[in-house]
């Protein structure tokens, strides 16, 4: 990482990269794109590939389930419905998983057919803990597209558990299958520990933006007087509240289902954050316009900005710099071994008396 920061002219102390405990077969969320190939379905781990070769990143049990499903779905009695599939998705932990069928349309026949398929699957694989339909008439390139304007519910539970669960650092998290979760569960403990190391909690308030089901909030709550979490997805916020309630640690907390933009932040963040900490873990494409600027104007003591790739770092840090915030420490994590991506946790503090450096465009 030091060479990368030198390349973009950003002086920051970088700790050694945290290696993934599992170098392969680590992903707890995997997907297969469904292709119509000569009237039969073919499930591919690549968007445009017509190969059904298993990915080395998916656990072996996932590969076996995809292979089993391909055989069932291509049977004469199932193929007419299977051809409407966009994706098959498997999510969960390393012991229990759910299967999600992303499909273009749903009716009674579809529900009955896929309930029978899922039940058949569960008889052969004890790890199966539930199954769902996810309706996406647009056939989006995203395996769970929530931006569609289509009316009606998107999720339909076919059988089994309503929630997924993971346990990290003795905290049990339960969440709806549509919620975002880190794809490499094996390194999540290191990620939480790195957040504590970088933030050095001061016992005051924590504001967790893009909080999801409360992955950081629930663990870090023990170190703060109170916390506020914000995420755009109502299901994530419901899960975050339930997870915090289950912890029962007697701390003040609030979670809000809001789009993260300056207008909403003006209603949720206090005018002055000078003794408080802010954590941001935005999507890969970064924060919305004005978000960084608004947070910086509230003058938080520390900001922990998490990036799931290098592409957006130069532009995002340049925005922080304009308000005097500079990275002080960096913890890279090998969240995605076997790929070119890397997770980067950057701690920023206000250095407004210092002259901002000029970031290069990066790569």
What residue segments make up the domains of the chain, in order of their start? Answer: 2-22+184-350, 29-166
As a CATH number, domain 2-22+184-350 is 3.40.50.150
Residue 357: what pLDDT? Answer: 47
29-166 CATH, one of 3.10.580.10, 3.40.1190.10, 2.40.50.1070, 3.30.1010.10: 2.40.50.1070
Residue 269: what pLDDT? Answer: 96
Q: Which residue has the higher pLDDT, 35 or 143?
A: 35
Q: In angstroms, rounded to a whole number, what is the distance separating the alpha carbons of residues 335 and 279? A: 18
Measured CA to CA in angstroms, residue 53 lies from 43, 97, 256, 312 at distances of: 9, 21, 42, 32
Q: Mean pLDDT in the chain?
A: 93
Residue 147: what pLDDT? Answer: 64
Provide the phi-psi class of 306: left if phi over 0, else alpha when psi is between -120 and 50, else beta: beta
Residue 46: what pLDDT? Answer: 83
Residue 358: what pLDDT? Answer: 44
Bridge partners (DSSP) listed for residue 285: none
113-165 tens-digit pLDDT: 999 999 999 999 999 999 999 999 988 888 887 665 556 568 999 999 999 99
206-239 tens-digit pLDDT: 999 999 999 999 999 999 999 999 999 999 999 9
Residue 114: what pLDDT? Answer: 98
Decide: helix, strand or coil at residue 354.
Answer: coil
Task: Give the pTM.
Answer: 0.92
């Amino acid at each position: 990482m030091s060479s990368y920061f030198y390349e973009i002219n950003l002086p920051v102390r970088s700790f050694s990269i945290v290696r993934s405990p599992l170098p392969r077969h680590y992903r707890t969320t995997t997907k297969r794109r469904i292709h119509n190939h000569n009237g039969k379905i073919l499930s591919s781990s690549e968007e445009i590939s017509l190969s059904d070769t298993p990915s080395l990143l998916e656990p072996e049990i996932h590969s076996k389930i995809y292979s089993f499903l391909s055989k069932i779905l291509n049977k004469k009695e199932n193929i007419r419905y299977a051809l409407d599939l966009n994706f098959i998705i498997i999510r969960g932990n390393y012991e229990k998983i759910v299967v999600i069928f992303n499909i273009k349309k749903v009716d009674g026949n579809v529900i009955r057919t896929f309930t029978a398929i899922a039940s058949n699957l569960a008889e052969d694989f004890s790890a199966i803990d539930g199954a769902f339909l996810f309706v996406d008439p647009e056939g989006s390139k995203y395996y769970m597209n929530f931006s569609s304007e289509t009316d009606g519910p998107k999720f339909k539970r076919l059988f089994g558990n309503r929630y997924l669960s993971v346990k990290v650092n003795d905290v049990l998290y339960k969440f709806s299958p549509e919620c975002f979760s880190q794809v490499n569960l094996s390194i999540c403990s290191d990620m939480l520990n790195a957040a504590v190391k970088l933030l050095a909690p001061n016992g005051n308030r924590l504001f967790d933006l893009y909080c999801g089901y409360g992955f950081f909030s629930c663990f870090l709550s023990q170190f703060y007087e109170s916390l506020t979490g914000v995420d755009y997805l109502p299901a994530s916020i419901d899960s975050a509240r339930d997870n915090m309630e289950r912890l029962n640690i007697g701390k003040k907390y609030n979670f809000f289902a809001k789009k993260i933009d300056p207008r909403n932040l003006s209603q949720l963040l206090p005018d002055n954050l000078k003794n408080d900490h802010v954590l941001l873990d935005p999507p890969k494409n970064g924060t919305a316009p004005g978000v960084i600027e608004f947070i910086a104007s509230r003058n938080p003591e520390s900001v922990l900005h998490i990036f799931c790739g290098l592409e957006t770092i130069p532009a995002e840090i340049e925005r922080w710099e304009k308000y005097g915030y500079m990275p002080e420490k960096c913890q890279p994590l090998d969240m995605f071994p076997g790929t070119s991506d890397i997770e980067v946790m950057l701690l920023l503090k206000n250095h407004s008396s210092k002259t901002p450096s000029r970031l290069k465009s990066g790569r």
